[in-house]
Chain A
């Protein structure tokens, strides 16, 4: 787990003069970022930055370092910075992660110098650097009617829901809509019309909510050609979920509900 130590003083010639002093215990690493500025560049291209990293730094700290001290134009989303808002999903060393939740101590190379690659998530149009157009993702989310459909209760008192009924869909309410699952899915990459795991997770959240009355309607939507049957059970989505949601399992549960629906 410990980082290989290097003699920082000989390695920092290319760091800017206004950068903060290199903290003790840090290691020089190379961060390779796929970049794109639509006003200047014809295409995506890689740029590398050699910077100091502490084992306790997160990849987000490294991106901030580059943005603050080396290239102020580096563009990415981030807001809460600890894995709740779901703004900074990106492809880090080839897998979808939230930059604010990847610790450097888990990233150092066993031998030789560490290089970390950072790319925008796949399957959505890149707008600038690590920032993609999230609109298609949110369109799929909206299409599954992501809201409680229920009648017969005056909004002056809560509905009764047992602890067990509430527990039934707990896992899928943890979704932060970061798109890490959907953009890790090979089916989504090749067929953008597929609803994708996140939309199905959010449908699951209502289909299995004892208070909801529109399960059949949602199942009809997901029975569509671009619905759950596209899933090839590769488990990329489950691996990618920063909230630990059993995404593939949720999709399977929706498939099962469709197979055994009483109509």
Chain B
């Protein structure tokens, strides 16, 4: 492999969404030469699809908000399975990251006095989401992209080279991480345009590859969401945690079939929209779980008063955390009260004036008009759950985003722990910025500690990686060849049907058997043409390896966790068990197979425990864990 294109960097960031770009900006600010590798064109990352906003306790709209309230909401949303340190860092630093983004140039909707406006969202006690209409993710990615361009132009002015400090490799697929004695040494990947391989040496790699949604049939996720970073980490020996927790967003489009799964933003409910069954009844009042009874209204009258008087009324149950709402919709449909196309109605038309809807939800109006021929200012939307987010990911150190593999860092959706068993809306964009920055800083700290002694890339490892990526071209015997498109469709069916929103032990055993069969057939994946230039079949064949690995993790961990919590609901184990709250399930590769192991959750710091009442904690924690707050401090 002597003739292969090669580069040397200090830090390689895989993924150019919010987390990846923030990590890269941070690494460069530490004087490190940084490469960003991304599968799509620069600026097209999945982050653009985020609609509702970025959660940060700035208190611009309700001055009662602060990081402690945000921390509490986040822990409640995740049913206390969250890594508390990550939730603490996230809540304390999110406002700084939003202000920083504004100074980078981001556009935000404003309050009457010109500050950043904030909107209500599910699970957030106060209006907390900074936003730009319903296109916040697009503005976030564009702002970071612009920041990168400005840094490159500054580097050009100083060094005569735009890419002296920061280079973006667009339409570039990473196939493997390279290790040297267990430490990260670099990556191997290829240009999608030419199919030519590239070796990149770097002592630190930040994974910021996002999620896994394309493993499911009905999903709001983009075509790039194939679990690449999760799989790269697994193959490099890192541990994934919480993989059983997959968030089904309650409101995806259900009709027409060609757009099934596309997201309908939670802002519709945050701004007053309500859910109704086929008969027009607001059913969410029937689904307020015991743990949330104190903070959610049990009558439509009180719920409606909350919008104008939030201090003296409880919140509408349409704004329960996503897992609760998704399960409720699922149940309504199952019991025969759904719409003709198997969803429920989301009604904003009877709640806000047409003018207000156009102002607050322009993209939603456009989306329904163009794709479903529904005018949301006068008609109800049909919605149902769609696979939206994976809470599970690479286990990381909260402060530095470092994984257990030296030199490997992870931030954003590919990292696990922050959101526990269920993520609140709006906490994803803030997660990207808070932990993207920390990953960039963590990599810088790691490199400084290396003191110039960098791991070596072995030629044999590069050759192996290239050969493995080219394997689909070697399947030339036409008998028994598998088509990547068909196999992908089968994988999506299995995950949707058997490891979806409501799970059952027997079904998941069957899923694991079917995944094993798909894995065997995947060895015979053949590429529909022999050349490597922009070869979509080849790209999918490689993505499919990753989707299979993460699907096995999701199914294996979900089978092991015999309780229901957040984004993991077991029909055969319907209740939440405090013993399981203290246990994290880890997934690692052992001889090519996924092995699930149990690990104790680190105990929460006492001052954070005391932010909650002992009564509330009693709903989630074991008596032993509670002893610390039972005694007055």
B146 touches A (CB below 8 Å)? yes
Interface string of B179-209 (1 = CB under 8 A from A): 0000000000000010000000000000000
Across the interface, do A155 and B109 meet the contact criterion of CB distance under 8 Å?
no
Interface residues of A in 25-57 (CB under 8 A from B): 37-40, 54, 56-57
Interface string of A63-96 (1 = CB under 8 A from B): 0000111011111011111111111000000000
Across the interface, do A155 and B103 meet the contact criterion of CB distance under 8 Å?
yes
Complex: chain B residue closest to A1, CB-CB: B373
Across the interface, do B153 and A87 meet the contact criterion of CB distance under 8 Å?
no
A18 touches B (CB below 8 Å)? yes
Q: Do A73 and B528 contact each other (CB < 8 Å), given the known contacts A79-B223, A80-B222? A: yes
Total contacting residues, chain A, CB less than 8 A: 70
Q: Do A157 and B99 contact each other (CB < 8 Å), given the known contacts A146-B149, A174-B135? A: yes
Q: How long is the Cα–Cα vector from A61 to B355 in the complex, in angstroms?
A: 33
- Which residues of chain A are within 8 angstroms of B366 by Cβ–Cβ distance? 244
A163 touches B (CB below 8 Å)? yes
Complex: chain B residue closest to A210, CB-CB: B114
- Which residues of chain B are within 8 angstroms of A61 by Cβ–Cβ distance? 258
Question: Which of B38-46, B317-325, B510-518, B559-567 forms part of the interface with chain A?
Answer: B38-46
Complex: chain B residue closest to A131, CB-CB: B534
A160 touches B (CB below 8 Å)? yes
B113 touches A (CB below 8 Å)? yes
Q: How long is the Cα–Cα vector from A155 to B114 in the complex, in angstroms?
A: 17
Q: How long is the Cα–Cα vector from A23 to B114 in the complex, in angstroms?
A: 53
A173 touches B (CB below 8 Å)? yes
- Which residues of chain B are within 8 angstroms of A166 by Cβ–Cβ distance? 107-110
Q: How long is the Cα–Cα vector from A120 to B330 in the complex, in angstroms?
A: 42
Across the interface, do A73 and B135 meet the contact criterion of CB distance under 8 Å?
no
Q: Do A80 and B258 contact each other (CB < 8 Å), given the known contacts A166-B109, A211-B105? A: no
Q: Do A159 and B103 contact each other (CB < 8 Å), given the known contacts A72-B536, A75-B534, A84-B49? A: yes
Q: How long is the Cα–Cα vector from A67 to B259 in the complex, in angstroms?
A: 18
Q: Do A72 and B99 contact each other (CB < 8 Å), given the known contacts A18-B486, A79-B224, A161-B110? A: no
Interface residues of A in 147-192 (CB under 8 A from B): 147-148, 150, 153-163, 165-166, 169-170, 173-177
Complex: chain A residue closest to B367, CB-CB: A82
B477 touches A (CB below 8 Å)? no
From A82, A105, A156, A161, B262 is in contact (CB under 8 Å) with A82
A258 touches B (CB below 8 Å)? no
Min CB–CB distance B115 → chain A (angstroms) = 6
Q: How long is the Cα–Cα vector from A57 to B370 in the complex, in angstroms?
A: 11
Q: Do A160 and B115 contact each other (CB < 8 Å), given the known contacts A18-B483, A18-B486, A72-B483? A: yes
Min CB–CB distance A12 → chain B (angstroms) = 18
Across the interface, do B40 and A87 meet the contact criterion of CB distance under 8 Å?
yes
- Which residues of chain A are within 8 angstroms of B152 by Cβ–Cβ distance? 142
Interface residues of A in 90-121 (CB under 8 A from B): 101, 103, 105
- Which residues of chain A are within 8 angstroms of B73 by Cβ–Cβ distance? none
- Which residues of chain A are within 8 angstroms of B257 by Cβ–Cβ distance? 23, 54, 56
- Which residues of chain A are within 8 angstroms of B527 by Cβ–Cβ distance? 72
Across the interface, do A155 and B535 meet the contact criterion of CB distance under 8 Å?
no
A122 touches B (CB below 8 Å)? no
Across the interface, do B149 and A39 meet the contact criterion of CB distance under 8 Å?
no
Across the interface, do B104 and A148 meet the contact criterion of CB distance under 8 Å?
yes
Min CB–CB distance B486 → chain A (angstroms) = 6
Interface residues of B in 491-543 (CB under 8 A from A): 527-529, 531, 533-537
From A68, A77, A142, A158, B149 is in contact (CB under 8 Å) with A142
Interface residues of B in 1-57 (CB under 8 A from A): 40-46, 48-49
- Which residues of chain B are within 8 angstroms of A175 by Cβ–Cβ distance? 142
Across the interface, do A103 and B371 meet the contact criterion of CB distance under 8 Å?
yes
B575 touches A (CB below 8 Å)? no
Complex: chain A residue closest to B112, CB-CB: A163
Across the interface, do B114 and A128 meet the contact criterion of CB distance under 8 Å?
no
- Which residues of chain B are within 8 angstroms of A212 by Cβ–Cβ distance? 105
Across the interface, do B44 and A146 meet the contact criterion of CB distance under 8 Å?
no
- Which residues of chain A are within 8 angstroms of B149 by Cβ–Cβ distance? 142, 146-147
Across the interface, do A87 and B146 meet the contact criterion of CB distance under 8 Å?
no
Q: How long is the Cα–Cα vector from A138 to B370 in the complex, in angstroms?
A: 28
- Which residues of chain B are within 8 angstroms of A68 by Cβ–Cβ distance? 485-486, 489
A145 touches B (CB below 8 Å)? yes
Interface string of B87-99 (1 = CB under 8 A from A): 0000000001011
From A78, A148, A157, B223 is in contact (CB under 8 Å) with A78
- Which residues of chain A are within 8 angstroms of B132 by Cβ–Cβ distance? 173
Complex: chain B residue closest to A146, CB-CB: B146
B100 touches A (CB below 8 Å)? yes
Q: How long is the Cα–Cα vector from A161 to B99 in the complex, in angstroms?
A: 13
A58 touches B (CB below 8 Å)? yes
Min CB–CB distance A241 → chain B (angstroms) = 12
- Which residues of chain A are within 8 angstroms of B529 by Cβ–Cβ distance? 72-73
B138 touches A (CB below 8 Å)? yes
Complex: chain B residue closest to A142, CB-CB: B149
From B41, B110, B367, A87 is in contact (CB under 8 Å) with B41
B147 touches A (CB below 8 Å)? yes
B572 touches A (CB below 8 Å)? no
Q: How long is the Cα–Cα vector from A165 to B108 in the complex, in angstroms?
A: 11
Q: Do A103 and B370 contact each other (CB < 8 Å), given the known contacts A127-B534, A148-B146? A: yes
Across the interface, do B533 and A38 meet the contact criterion of CB distance under 8 Å?
yes
Interface residues of A in 125-140 (CB under 8 A from B): 127-129, 131, 134, 138
From A38, A54, A85, B40 is in contact (CB under 8 Å) with A85
Complex: chain A residue closest to B137, CB-CB: A84
Q: How long is the Cα–Cα vector from A85 to B39 in the complex, in angstroms?
A: 13
From A54, A69, A209, B256 is in contact (CB under 8 Å) with A54
Interface residues of B in 330-354 (CB under 8 A from A): none
A103, A153, A154: residue with the most chain B Cβ atoms closer than 10 Å = A103
Complex: chain A residue closest to B96, CB-CB: A156
- Which residues of chain B are within 8 angstroms of A147 by Cβ–Cβ distance? 104-105, 146-147, 149-150
Min CB–CB distance A178 → chain B (angstroms) = 9
Across the interface, do B485 and A72 meet the contact criterion of CB distance under 8 Å?
yes
- Which residues of chain A are within 8 angstroms of B108 by Cβ–Cβ distance? 158, 166
Q: How long is the Cα–Cα vector from A134 to B40 in the complex, in angstroms?
A: 12
Complex: chain B residue closest to A175, CB-CB: B142
B548 touches A (CB below 8 Å)? no
Across the interface, do B99 and A156 meet the contact criterion of CB distance under 8 Å?
yes
Q: How long is the Cα–Cα vector from A69 to B486 in the complex, in angstroms?
A: 9
B49, B107, B153: residue with the most chain A Cβ atoms closer than 10 Å = B107
Min CB–CB distance A262 → chain B (angstroms) = 24
Q: Do A58 and B258 contact each other (CB < 8 Å), given the known contacts A18-B486, A72-B528, A79-B44? A: yes
Q: Do A160 and B536 contact each other (CB < 8 Å), given the known contacts A39-B531, A79-B224, A87-B41? A: no
Excluding A85-B222, A145-B153, A155-B99, 10 further A-B contacts by CB distance (< 8 Å) are: A69-B485, A72-B483, A72-B529, A103-B371, A128-B534, A148-B103, A148-B104, A158-B98, A163-B114, A212-B105
In the complex, 12 of the A-B residue pairs with CB atoms within 8 angstroms, ordered by the A residue number, are: A56-B257, A58-B259, A68-B486, A81-B262, A84-B48, A84-B49, A84-B363, A147-B105, A147-B150, A148-B146, A158-B108, A175-B142
The 6 lowest CB-CB distance pairs between A and B, nearest first, are A148-B105, A56-B256, A72-B528, A160-B114, A147-B146, A147-B150
Residues of A within 8 A of B (CB): 18, 23, 37-40, 54, 56-58, 61, 67-69, 71-75, 77-87, 101, 103, 105, 127-129, 131, 134, 138, 142, 145-148, 150, 153-163, 165-166, 169-170, 173-177, 206, 209, 211-212, 244
